[in-house]
Amino acid sequence: DAGITQSPRHKVTETGTPVTLRCHQTENHRYMYWYRQDPGHGLRLIHYSYGVKDTDKGEVSDGYSVSRSKTEDFLLTLESATSSQTSVYFCAISTQGSNTEAFFGQGTRLTVV
Amino acid sequence: GIQVEQSPPDLILQEGANSTLRCNFSDSVNNLQWFHQNPWGQLINLFYIPSGTKQNGRLSATTVATERYSLLYISSSQTTDSGVYFCAGRGSGAGSYQLTFGKGTKLSVIP
């Protein structure tokens, strides 16, 4: 276990409502990532962070925002959830950006109805 | 960014059989990992292997970085090996923070 906790683990929400997913790490790793997993697409990067208050967009960032006010917490917000954002969301951490191993949390299953 | 292709997409094995899963990359990578996603959805790290060969029990992996591919070997397969196997890599330069995943190989091991 890489010391990554995602919350909630499951959530059902209505279209148009805001949703925040939390990733908490106990490893003091600098880099944190949010991915989504959809059938036929594998895992795709939404946003990542390379330090407190330092974030950047990934491949599928539209409709999502992130914040990192502390090293250990990385929040993913869906400002106004849509059905296309129904997915499984994974948080990941790594010590460096490129040449190190990444570890994943257990995932959050989000359903937007 | 880089493209990652995995083959085969699906594989059915009799328990005890051996298998080889392949991962091809469109460009050079400086970080390559293999994961196993179990039936409960958890992503388990198998290997971090930018180059060379590593072994862990019945599993081993080889990455030939100059030829842009990696192989995962599973020997004497067991039903607990079932699940989806992903490889993922990071390119160099712009986008190097992004771990790009293949679409996976779904392995079913039957008794």
State pLDDT tens for residues B52-73.
Answer: 999 999 999 999 999 999 999 9
Q: What is the pLDDT of residue A83?
A: 97
Best interface-test mutation with B: which of A96, A98, A106 has the largest number of B CBs within 10 A?
A: A98
The residue behind tokens 């030829």 is B67
Hey, is the C-beta of A63 within 8 angstroms of any chain B C-beta? no
Query: Do strands B105-110 and B10-14 pair parallel, antiparallel, or not at all (unpaired)?
Result: parallel
**Facing residue for B90 by CB, picked from A56, A98, A107:** A98
How confident is the model over B10-16, as a mean pLDDT?
97
Q: For residues A41 and A12, which has the higher predicted lDDT (pLDDT)? A: A12
What does the alpha-carbon distance between residue A10 and residue A27 come to, in Å, rounded to a whole number? 24
Amino acid at B85: Y
Q: Residues of chain A with pLDDT > 90: what percent?
A: 84
How confident is the model over B78-88, as a mean pLDDT?
96
Best interface-test mutation with A: which of B7, B96, B97, B103 has the largest number of A CBs within 10 A?
A: B97
How confident is the model over A78-89, as a mean pLDDT?
97
Q: What is the pLDDT of residue B96?
A: 66
Chain B interface residues (partner A, CB cutoff 8 A) = 1, 30-31, 33, 35, 41-43, 45, 48, 50, 86, 88, 90, 92, 96-104
3-class DSSP assignment, residue B81:
helix
What does the alpha-carbon distance between residue B10 and residue B50 come to, in Å, rounded to a whole number? 25
How sure is the predictor about B2, in pLDDT bands with cuts at 50, 70 and 90? confident
- Contact between A98 and B30 using a beta-carbon 8 Å cutoff: yes
For residues B6-32, one letter each, b for 16 or more C-beta atoms within 10 angstroms of the residue's C-beta and e for the rest, the string is: beeeebebeeeeebebebebeeebebb
Give contacts of A107 with chain B, Cβ < 8 Å. 41-43
Radius of gyration of chain B (CA): 13
Radius of gyration of chain A (CA): 13
**Residue B3 · residue B26 · CB < 8 Å:** yes
- Contact between A97 and B96 using a beta-carbon 8 Å cutoff: yes
How sure is the predictor about A55, in pLDDT bands with cuts at 50, 70 and 90? very high
Interacting residues of A53 by C-beta distance below 8 A, sequence separation 6+: A68, A69
Tokens at A23, concatenated: 């990733």
Positive or negative, the CA dihedral A2, B41, B24, B4 is: negative
- Contact between B86 and A43 using a beta-carbon 8 Å cutoff: yes
Does a cis peptide bond (omega within 30 degrees of 0) precede residue B39?
Answer: no
What does the alpha-carbon distance between residue B105 and residue A49 come to, in Å, rounded to a whole number? 29
